[in-house]
Amino acid sequence: MPISMEALADDLAAESAVLRELLAPLPDPDWRRDTPAAGWTIADQVSHLAHFDDVAVRSAVDPDGFTAERDRIVAGGGGIDPDAIAASYRELSGAALLAWFDDARGRLLEVFRGLDPGLRVPWFGPPMSAASSLTARIMETWAHGQDVADALGVVREPTGRLRHVAHIGVGARAFSFAVHGRPVPDEPVRVELTGPAGEVWTWGPADATDRVTGPALDFCLAVTQRRHRDDVGLTVTGPAATAWLEIAQAFAGAPGTGRERGAVR
């Protein structure tokens, strides 16, 4: 089935609405609540999303400008420092952050709906398709939204949109090893997940002996490092699958620090 940018954009809009519903009622002091991400508040989670929405739009509408700026930073010995980016927006009020998020997300949806899904756009690493870039925004929104929900003590209802998160998590297996400076095991891994409606989502050879099975929600929490591997209900079989789940990382950048065992209940 051809990839539909309209369908991806609709899913991102729906995921954005879930997060916005959590944010809209918050008085300004609650935006400064700590989240399970060390050193990050709710405000930091939202500024991160808005900032990289703006960056994703630039990568699509001004790829040469994006690439030149990225290369300038790299040539200067710098890198993308999420903590420094978060710190640069901490003077903004909750209301200002929400308005920025609304504007940035609206612009992102407007631009990406009209793109060819196969269009290659530059990023902080290899270029990716426009469809993959939009899917990554779904994953990021869900993952950072999980941090916000945890900070507020809210349990979100799982949806079929988790498939996007799981798909990126599976696709990032090689990256997870590379970012830790480790070779990817030769053995393939079969992933079988049960979605929120009882549907089964699969990746990898059906006859692979290394396997990861369990609820899609638990897999997504693990590969976005929102829960410790021991705090999710996944069955992991075989050395290649075990090694992967110990370092699985669906997001770009340096190796994530993850969560301590039992840190989030």
The model's pLDDT over 148-170, given as tens digits with 9 standing for 90+, comes to 999 999 999 999 999 999 999 99
Tell me, yes or no, whether 109 and 28 share the same domain.
yes
Q: How many CB atoms lie within 10 A of CB 1?
A: 4
Tell me, yes or no, whether 127 and 31 share the same domain.
yes
- Give the pLDDT confidence of 39-50 residue by residue, as tens digits: 999 999 999 999
Q: Which domain holds residue 223?
A: 163-247
The stretch 79-94 carries a mean pLDDT of 92
CATH of the domain at 23: 1.20.120.450
Tell me, yes or no, whether 52 and 90 share the same domain.
yes
∠ CA 211-212-214 to the nearest 5 degrees? 135
Tell me, yes or no, whether 212 and 149 share the same domain.
no
Q: Can you tell me whether residue 34 is helix, strand or coil?
A: strand
Show the tokens assigned to 260: 């301590």
CATH of the domain at 185: 3.30.1050.10
- Give the pLDDT confidence of 177-222 residue by residue, as tens digits: 999 999 999 999 999 999 999 999 999 999 999 999 999 999 999 9
- Domain-embedded: residue 176: yes
Tell me, yes or no, whether 40 and 95 share the same domain.
yes
Between CA 41 and CA 33 the distance in angstroms is 5
Tell me, yes or no, whether 199 and 151 share the same domain.
no
What is the CA 164 to chain-centroid distance, rounded?
10
What pTM was computed for the model? Answer: 0.95
Between CA 96 and CA 73 the distance in angstroms is 28
Report residue 78's pLDDT band, with 50, 70 and 90 as the boundaries. Answer: low
The stretch 84-93 carries a mean pLDDT of 96
Tell me, yes or no, whether 145 and 177 share the same domain.
no
- Domain-embedded: residue 259: no
Tell me, yes or no, whether 201 and 179 share the same domain.
yes
Tell me, yes or no, whether 42 and 144 share the same domain.
yes
- Domain-embedded: residue 253: no
Is residue 179 within 8 Å of residue 249, measured between CB atoms? yes
Tell me, yes or no, whether 120 and 218 share the same domain.
no
- The predicted structure's pLDDT at residue 183: 96
Domain count across the chain: 2
Edge-to-edge strands of the sheet including 200-203? 200-203, 189-194, 210-215, 235-237
Tell me, yes or no, whether 120 and 36 share the same domain.
yes
Between CA 43 and CA 11 the distance in angstroms is 23
The stretch 24-43 carries a mean pLDDT of 97
Is residue 264 within 8 Å of residue 36, measured between CB atoms? yes
Helix extents (H) in the chain: 5-23, 42-61, 63-75, 82-87, 94-113, 130-152, 162-171, 173-179, 216-223, 239-247
Q: What is the DSSP letter of 41?
A: B
The stretch 102-127 carries a mean pLDDT of 95
Between CA 22 and CA 152 the distance in angstroms is 8
What is the CA 62 to chain-centroid distance, rounded?
23
**Token pair 């998160």: residue:** 165
Q: Can you tell me whether residue 49 is helix, strand or coil?
A: helix
Between CA 249 and CA 177 the distance in angstroms is 9
- Domain-embedded: residue 199: yes
Tell me, yes or no, whether 150 and 171 share the same domain.
no
- Domain-embedded: residue 94: yes
